Structure 1
Amino acid sequence: MKKSVITLLAILAVVAIIVISAIGTYNGLVTMDENVSGQWANVETQYQRRADLIPNLVNTVKGYATHEKETLEGVIQARSQATQIKVDAADLTPEKLAEYQKAQGAVTQALGKLLAITENYPELKANQNFLELQAQLEGTENRINVARKNFNDAAQAYNVGIRRFPKSIFASAFGFEKRAYFEAAEGSEQAPEVKF
């Protein structure tokens, strides 16, 4: 009888270890998944900050550069299109992330054109409101880069976690799927051409 009790206790101990390990693995995957979602929220927050600055910047430039209507409208249109694209962190497919990134890239290009035309307006470049908005926008672009890097780091840690054994067993059993990454913008592999 003592052998059967000891055997039963040993089996129960092994089962308890397996159950505790499975719970820890599952909770670790949930934590990594939530970290990716949190980092995605940070990315969206920084893009929203930029979108909030754009109307003020456009209005400031509009006062000085009234005949640059096409450029100003391009910025407003790009901002409008970018803010209409909503991506849920739980359903962040590579296609949806690429669409989001493309829309945000259009905003970046439009802002680049807007800031380039300001070179033609010395009074605008000296305007304190414009200088402050430009500094805020530059800071926001840096924050966007940091948020995107943090998101990619969290997505990488998560993706590695769900692919490693034995977590891969739990990940597939409980529906944890690979997360997409931000990638370099199309055409960024080519250096810009400089002409004098």
Structure 2
Amino acid sequence: MIALIIVIVVLVVLALAVVGMYNGLVRLRNKVDEAWNQIDVELQRRHDLIGNLVETVKGYAAHERGTLEEVVRARGAAMAGGQSPAQQAETEGLLTQALGRLIAVAEAYPDLKANQNFLALQNELSSTEDRIASARRYYNANVRELNTKVDTVPSNIVAGIAHVSKREYFEARGESRDPVRVDFGSSGPAVPPPQSYTGTELPRAQAAEPAPQVEGADGTDPAAPDPGPTTPQGS
């Protein structure tokens, strides 16, 4: 009788442990899905802002057709449905590169840089990039926790029964680990302008050379100080 009670208690404990692991896996899976939905919302906002930014730039720099079309193509690829997180990160990275080239082009148009709509779109896009980065960190943290549960014993057994599988991280392939970050602070490293002679001042190399000395007709140096009238000896 006692042995039967012990067996029943052990089975109940195991059942509770399995239920607890199952519920924990389901909660983690739901958190990952929720985190990805938040990223998707911010990405859609990003795509809308980039579309408006392209239209604004087009009004001032319509002849920059190659750069504009590149951004439009990259935006279309990023907006394509059915992408996994890894694929989405890759297309977003390509869009970020194209957007960086568009911003660099805009630097050459002072009227565009001063346009209030352009400035507002830049600020909104920069804020959206920050929210995407925050949402990405939250998503990846939950994915890491879920994948750890799926890989480790005994929760991996329950994961197989519950059909809970590992998820992909949302991060860039290659050197950069932040696929959706755009820095509007500068368009690149400052390059010093080439030295040129404007006619208002001598180039430094010429200014450092001493002026040539020309002797007068009597063989004296005209730049030398006048010694004054000479007095005959004995006067």
Residue 24 of structure 1 is matched in structure 2 by 20
Tell me which amino acid in the other structure corresponds to 1:137.
L
Residue 154 of structure 1 is matched in structure 2 by 142
Gaps of 5+ in 1: 88-95
- Seen in structure 2, the aligned counterparts of structure 1 residues 55 and 194 have a Cα distance that, compared at 3 Å, is closer
Residue 172 of structure 1 is matched in structure 2 by 160
Bigger Cα displacement from structure 2, 153-162 vs 97-106: 97-106
Alpha-carbon contact 2:78-2:88 (below 8 Å) kept: yes
Pick aligned residue for 1:50 from 39, 46, 49: 46
For residues 106 and 184 of structure 1, what CA distance do their matches in structure 2 show? 10
Alpha-carbon contact 2:159-2:165 (below 8 Å) kept: yes
> Are residues 1:69 and 2:65 paired?
yes
More helix by share: 1
How do residues 96-175 of structure 1 correspond to structure 2 at under 5 angstroms? 96-175=84-163
- Seen in structure 2, the aligned counterparts of structure 1 residues 30 and 139 have a Cα distance that, compared at 3 Å, is same
The SS at the match of 2:126 is helix
1:99 Cα deviation from its structure 2 partner? 2.2
Which string of whole-angstrom CA distances, capped at 9 and with x for unpartnered residues, describes residues 143-189 of structure 1?
A: 11111111111100111122222212212333322222133332438
Tell me which amino acid in the other structure corresponds to 2:78.
A
- The structure with more radius of gyration: 2
1:109 Cα deviation from its structure 2 partner? 1.1
Residue 33 of structure 2 is matched in structure 1 by 37
> Are residues 1:13 and 2:1 paired?
no
Which string of whole-angstrom CA distances, capped at 9 and with x for unpartnered residues, describes residues 70-89 of structure 1?
A: 211211111112111323xx
Pick aligned residue for 1:78 from 53, 63, 74: 74
For residues 82 and 38 of structure 2, what CA distance do their matches in structure 1 show? 14
Which string of whole-angstrom CA distances, capped at 9 and with x for unpartnered residues, describes residues 20-71 of structure 1?
A: 1111110101111111111111121111110111221111111111211221
Bigger Cα displacement from structure 2, 155-164 vs 173-182: 173-182
Alpha-carbon contact 1:85-1:100 (below 8 Å) kept: no
- Seen in structure 2, the aligned counterparts of structure 1 residues 101 and 11 have a Cα distance that, compared at 3 Å, is same
Tell me which amino acid in the other structure corresponds to 2:113.
K
Which string of whole-angstrom CA distances, capped at 9 and with x for unpartnered residues, describes residues 122-148 of structure 1?
A: 111111111000001111111111111
Alpha carbon RMSD of aligned pairs, Å?
2.0
For residues 160 and 98 of structure 1, what CA distance do their matches in structure 2 show? 19
The SS at the match of 1:120 is coil
For residues 181 and 78 of structure 1, what CA distance do their matches in structure 2 show? 21
Bigger Cα displacement from structure 2, 167-176 vs 132-141: 167-176
TM score, norm. by length of structure 1: 0.84
List 4+ stretches of structure 1 deviating above 6 A.
none
Question: RCO higher in 1 or 2 (8 Å CA, sep ≥ 6)?
Answer: 1
The SS at the match of 1:154 is helix
Which string of whole-angstrom CA distances, capped at 9 and with x for unpartnered residues, describes residues 87-122 of structure 1?
A: 3xxxxxxxx333222211121111111111111111
Alpha-carbon contact 1:118-1:125 (below 8 Å) kept: yes
Tell me which amino acid in the other structure corresponds to 1:11.
V
